[in-house]
Structures are given as C-alpha cells and as structure tokens.
Amino acid sequence: MLQESNRIEWKSTLNDKMEKEIVAFLNNREGGILYIGIDDDGRPVENLDIDSSQLKIADRIKNNILPSTLGLFDIVTEIIEGIAVIKIIVSSGLEKPYYIKSKGMSPNGCYMRMGASTQPMTTAFIDELYGKRIHTTLRNITSPRQDLTFAQLKIYYQERGLELNKQFANSLELLTPDGKYNYIAYLLADENGVSIKVAKYAGKDKIDLKENEEYGYCSLIKATNYVLEKMKIENVTKARVTSTRRIEKNLVEPVPMREALINAIVHNDFSKEIPPVFEIFSDRMEFTSYGGLIQGQSMEDFFSCSSMPRNRELMRVFKDVGLVEQLGSGMSRILNSYDRTVFEISEHFIKVIFPFSWSDERESVVITKWDGDDNGDDNGDDNGDDMTILLLVEKEPDITAKKISEKVGFSTRKVSRIIKSLRESGKIIRIGSDRKGYWKVNKGRDMD
C-alpha cells in the first residue's frame, strides 16, 4: 500500500486543492508525486475519467501556477491493484518560490511540504527564496544569432504526430522576455555553433587518439541522435565461450548507456559554451557534462531519482520528441545496473564512467543489431538503420555489404537496399570498381 510522505500525496478526486499540492512539490527540494484516484485509506477508486482528467490537470498546471512550469511535470497513468489512477510527477523547480497565480507571491499562494502535509510559506521564507532565485537560465540568454530556422525540429515533432504552429517559439519558450530568440532556440535551430565531441582512444589513457568526431552545428535533437547511433555502434557485443555455454554481453549495458548519454546532453550547462564530451577507451566509456550539482541540490538529491532539470525547456522538448520517457526515470535505469561509484561529481563537471563488461582482447567479438526490428527483407523498419550503415561505411570505407550484414545483423538484401538509397541521395559515393573500390561519405550532404 502507498504511504503519504514528503514526496508523495494522493487525492481521491480532482479538486480545487490540486494547484496547492503542485506548488508545494515545485518548491520542495526533491519534487514529488501527486496521485489522483486514491482514497484516504490508500486504495484506488474506480470510475475515474482518466483522459478527461489528464487534460484538465495539464491545463490547470500550465495556466494557474507561476513561474512557468513547462518541462517540470509529467502526467502518466499507473495501474494499482488493477485500477488505473493518475500519477503527476513534479520536479523541483529552479525559480522558487512557485505560487498560485490568482493568489500571488504571498502566504496564500506559496506552499511547501512539511512531512506528509502541505503548509503555507511565511513571508520571510518567500522573500529568502526569491532573493536566491536563479534568473540566468538559458531562456533568458539571447541567442548569438537571430536568423534561426527550425525545419529539423519540426520534422522530429511531425514524426511523433505533433505539429508546431506559428506560435511554437512562444509555446516552447524559445523567446527572451523582450521577444528575441533565446539560447534554447539557438541550440534547437537548424544551424548553430555547438558541437558534441566523441573521441576514441587505442588504450586506457588519452595518448593514442584513434578517432575524434564532432556531431553538431545543427539542431541539438539531431546531434543527440547522431551521438546515440555512434555509441550504439561502439557498444559491441562480445562473446565468451565457456565449457558449458556461450555468453554474450555488450561492452556497456545499453539502457543505462542511453540514459546517461541523454542526461549528459540535456543537463549540460550550455551557458558557459562548454558542450558535453563522450570518450571511448579500451576498457571503459566516459561521458562528461559541464556543470556540477545544481544550486540547492545535495548528493542524496542527485541519486534519489527525483528530477531537478537544469534546462527544463530542453527537457520538455526532449520529452516531446521521445528522447526522454518520464521525468526522473533516467537515474533509476542507470542505478538498476550500476552502483553510484560510476559517477564522479566535482564542482564544475559530472562524469559517468562505464567499465566494460570484459575487455580481454583474446575474446572473439560479435557485433549484433542493438535495437529496432529487421525482418530480413524489405519490410524491416529502417528507423535509424541508414545512419547505422552510414557510420560503418565512414569508419571502414572498404567494407562490403556482406560484412555490414554480419556486423549489424541486417539481411544482405536490406543492406543493399539501404546502400542503394544512400548512393541515390548522394550521401555516399563509390570510388573505383565494385570489387576493388571503396566508399566515400559525402559530408557536404545533409544526413537526416
């Protein structure tokens, strides 16, 4: 049975006290969770209109609370004892104190959690929080360019069945208070000066650099997808044969790797113009993002799986396009496979170090298809598959279709079809004959 606490509250129905509870969790250092559809005894109630209630909840949170809550809450359905209830996940906000718009920044509008109850703030505490409020968010930093376009971003939204209307810059908070494009807009634009580095070394140190790639100068969403595909290729599966069985494991657990990679990007402090860096060594992967713990966040807060996004506007967009599933879920997915020792946290940086599952060079290496679906024919889902092959061709220009098929697990028919498409679009060029020639990636073409 659920228990109410400093981070958990429940209501049997959607009533006029909801905003008060949400405000209290926004002001709480660890955020919190509000359940709608659970009675005083902690039991789920039936006949709750889930869809209608979720729409009303989202509208009330967005319109009845200040400062802006976009990117700070998530509304999902949870099944408890076979009954669907509404779960509102609320992050701790950076612009405290949050308050009910109609009540103003006063004890009647500002609330906080005291144990398992919600209490009004004192005037003195409201003044103290307001004095510490962080105003230097990316939303308030003017973009270094104002001639921005967002064709790539619109495509990613369309792929999720969403449309960006003419007011999208305002609704996604891409404008400064004086109406100029802000730094969030700059990061999400088709062209910018931000690049994410991926470096690969031959050994356990940085002496012998094998590869040094840059993914960027485009929408941060597009760059993130590039880096994800690159790291999936590098996260090969190694096989070890024992006397009784064959054991296959990725160098790094795929789900924690993906979560840590996205966290490093979306929580990076871009205001200092230092992008995240991803490094691959012979025995480990290291993901480094700039910016230590957020002001007011303790080490326990960081590991508690509660969400306190540094860049809530970016978090909102990443969630819209499917890169982030649920607020606060990334850390739990990492800690399900690794302990806290994989994190190194300093004043200015947060680093995640994933040791390889095994790194004995004498073991045979098998690269398998990491995710997605391949039916072995023309009906397979090409979700990112062309990028997978593009990166392989760039890495091994003389690679054959048969070898690509062996490495990624696609049928040779599917590989040939994707290569043909890449050639027709001008993304790759064949130099020389089919038998003795090699591939050249045309980096002058847009690799969507």
CA distance 284 to 267: 22
What pLDDT is stored for residue 181 in this prediction? Answer: 95
Give residue-wise pLDDT tens across range 124-168. 999 888 877 765 578 888 898 999 999 999 999 999 999 999 899
Strand partners of residue 82: none
Give residue-wise pLDDT tens across range 157-203. 999 999 999 899 999 999 988 899 999 999 999 999 999 999 999 99
Average pLDDT over residues 81-108: 91
CB-CB contact of 93 with 72 (8 Å) = yes
Which tokens belong to 348? 């200015």
CB-CB contact of 89 with 315 (8 Å) = no
Helix (H, G, I), strand (E, B) or coil at 409: coil
| pLDDT higher than threshold 80 for residue 287 | yes
Residue written as tokens 């509404």? 86
| pLDDT higher than threshold 70 for residue 83 | yes
List of domains in the chain: 8-132 (3.30.950.30), 195-295+318-355 (3.30.565.60), 370-441 (1.10.10.10)
What pLDDT is stored for residue 46 in this prediction? Answer: 85
Q: Read off the pLDDT band of 433 (50, 70, 90).
A: confident
pTM above 0.75, yes or no: no
Of the candidates 421, 436, 343, 351, which has an alpha carbon nearest to the alpha carbon of residue 380? 421
Average pLDDT, the chain: 85
Give residue-wise pLDDT tens across range 214-269. 998 999 999 999 999 999 999 988 766 555 666 778 899 999 999 999 999 999 98
Q: Read off the pLDDT band of 359 (50, 70, 90).
A: low
Residue written as tokens 């690509």? 404
Strand partners of residue 287: 278, 352
What pLDDT is stored for residue 169 in this prediction? Answer: 95
Average pLDDT over residues 65-78: 87
Helix (H, G, I), strand (E, B) or coil at 81: coil
